[in-house]
Structure 1
Amino acid sequence: METMRDRFGTVASRLLDEDPRVAVVLAEIGRDAFTDAARRHPDRLINVGIREQLLVGTAAGLSLTGMRPIVHTFAAFLVERPFEQVKLDLGHQDTGAVLVSAGASFDWPAGGQTHMSPGDVALLDTLDGWTVHVPGHPDEAETLLRHAVAAGDDKVYVRLSLQRNRLPLPVDGARFLTVREGRAGVVVAVGPMLDTVLTATEGLDVTVLYATTLRPFDTAALRRATEAAGTDVVLVEPYLAGTSTRAATEALADVPHRVLGLGVGRRELRRYGTLDEHLAAHGLDAPGLRERIGAFVGAGAVSA
């Protein structure tokens, strides 16, 4: 089955063919996906080696010359390790790039804590001006990557994952989509969490919104949903729990509301396990979500 990362390699290679402004910058990881593209575009396919600070610095330099760099490696090495360069080379210099990560929160548990990054989006939230896309399907990853590359010189983060939904939805790089309507609360399912959320909320009288662009946060969509479904809001994110609670709270600042942030817990799990075992341990499988969402929105949320 094709993964989001498989699709990324294909689409980024096509973008090199289609747009002379595009450059792809790697740090060893992912190079095999660009073997043919490197032969066609040796001047715009740059592998800096295992030097993640240089990875981001090189992207900033390319941006200053008018290029549109796509930068790729594991999330832990793309956001966390070179964070000073993300903050200064891109942020302080006001230069744009498209950062595309792999690995997500714990896609490769055998890699251990060094290859896990549940805090990547929260860390970017400390900076100004970032767009954050979290696709839930390879088709959505392609749409959002193309949107990011076309977005002028903006700073964009595209978070890829092995987790995926069964079917894509028509995402547009801006809006939340209404997937299910109810009257007893709103559940915002982020990216690859949608299918699990729909299973977990089956029979609950809640509205389900689907979010693949988290920054900027779609305030208007959340407000519209709460007008009909009430202001109990649950956010289900595939990264650090509570990452978007501030954004949801600000969206509803003028009305009484409650917000529950569900996601990856802060406690480090020190056994490798599998991806599914990590999801269950953090309560992000369908039974865990149903228990917590049901308790939050109350018994009255069960539809007839």
Structure 2
Amino acid sequence: MTAQVTRTLMRTVFIDTMIDAVATDSRVALVTADISSWSFDDLRAEYPERVINVGIREQAMIGIAGGLALTGHRPVAHTYTPFLIERPFEQIKICLNHQDVGAVLVSIGGSYDDLPRGRTHQAPGDVALLDTLPGWTVHVPGHEDEVEPLLRKALAGDDRVYLRLSDKVHSEPVPLSGEFTVLRQGGAGVVVAVGPVLDDVLAATAALDVTVLYASTIRPFDRAGLRRAAGAARANVVLVEPYLRGTSAPEVAEALADVPHRLLALGTRRDQEVRAYGKAADHDRLHGIDAESLAGSISEFLG
């Protein structure tokens, strides 16, 4: 499966679900900032008051979402990751959090899916940035079949939800729950795989005696699930996230506050500005989150 096909499948699930949701639930509204807006042209013609494209005005998009929430709607805002989280962050802070209203933010592009467009379309720090605000649920699906149920659940609520879509998917969907899913059990350590890094984690740990936990929902963090997997004795924990390295390290520390433990946090690098283009697989290697690099790092950590 090529990256383009994978992206089309992931995006199509979101688009199809939103078309149905707007048509069947008068509470649901959609605000876009040009990205994917053409996919909703017919829907916008039928429901112009609830399907709005603001153009390249991402701050206005979040402001409008906040206003829709104040009038009783369930707004969904959608665009590329950096334009959804980083550019309008002040509006997220004020129009959603400070006003204490809910919305569903749905991004595409992951950390670095659209490499030909350069650094402007990359946002590995998105989840870490949202962590500075209270009350956010963060879903990081790793397979296209996980997208619709997570989105449907978000649409049914009133809280603040971030759904982070990416091109990269793992080979098989994992049954969803709000808790970490145990895929393997072992005695040498616990490896937490978040969303689309799962296949690389499974390949990297195939010969290791470790427990592998899978997370498609990373906020709230399943502290109880990690504690069960780690046990009461000294624990070795490896955290593999498809965004900024160490984003969930404070959550691990809170979960195991009274358990002696060691943590290896893996994800996109913090120590340098990446100016390369290339392909996503090249960036996975650069950041050390491809299967071969993960195998080396985890094996060395476990000793």
Regarding TM over 0.5, the answer is yes
Q: CA deviation at 1:229?
A: 8.9
Identify the residue that residue 180 of structure 2 maps to in structure 1. 176
> Alignment partner of 2:242: what SS?
strand
Equivalent position to 1:155, from 135, 138, 160: 160
Aligned length: 296
Per-residue CA distance 1:115-139 (angstroms, 9 max, x = gap)? 1000000000011100000000111
Q: CA deviation at 1:40?
A: 2.7
Instruction: Give 1:238's aligned amino acid.
Output: P
Identify the residue that residue 147 of structure 2 maps to in structure 1. 141
Q: CA deviation at 1:19?
A: 1.0
Per-residue CA distance 1:230-272 (angstroms, 9 max, x = gap)? 5110010000000000001100001101111100002222121
Per-residue CA distance 1:73-108 (angstroms, 9 max, x = gap)? 011000000000001110111011000001111001
Equivalent position to 1:296, from 278, 286, 301: 301
Q: CA deviation at 1:37?
A: 1.9
Structure 1 stretches (4+) deviating beyond 6 angstroms? none
TM-score by length of 2: 0.95
Identify the residue that residue 263 of structure 2 maps to in structure 1. 259
Instruction: Give 1:3's aligned amino acid.
Output: L
Instruction: Report matched runs for 1:11-160 at 5 Å.
Output: 11-151=17-157, 153-160=158-165
Identify the residue that residue 281 of structure 1 maps to in structure 2. 286
> Alignment partner of 1:167: what SS?
coil
> Alignment partner of 2:298: what SS?
helix
Whole-angstrom distance in 1 between the partners of 2:234 and 2:201: 19
Whole-angstrom distance in 2 between the partners of 1:138 and 1:183: 32
Equivalent position to 1:225, from 226, 229, 236: 229
Q: Report whether the alignment pairs 1:245 with 2:249.
A: yes
Decide whether the 8 Å contact of 1:189 with 1:197 is kept in 2: yes
Instruction: Give 1:128's aligned amino acid.
Output: P
Whole-angstrom distance in 2 between the partners of 1:226 and 1:244: 16
Gaps of 5+ in 2: none
Whole-angstrom distance in 1 between the partners of 2:88 and 2:195: 25
Gaps of 5+ in 1: 299-304
Q: CA RMSD in A?
A: 1.2
Whole-angstrom distance in 2 between the partners of 1:115 and 1:5: 16
Identify the residue that residue 270 of structure 1 maps to in structure 2. 275
Whole-angstrom distance in 1 between the partners of 2:243 and 2:53: 28
Whole-angstrom distance in 2 between the partners of 1:25 and 1:184: 47
Identify the residue that residue 301 of structure 1 maps to in structure 2. none
> Alignment partner of 2:67: what SS?
helix
> Alignment partner of 1:278: what SS?
helix
Identify the residue that residue 6 of structure 1 maps to in structure 2. 12
Q: Percent identity?
A: 57
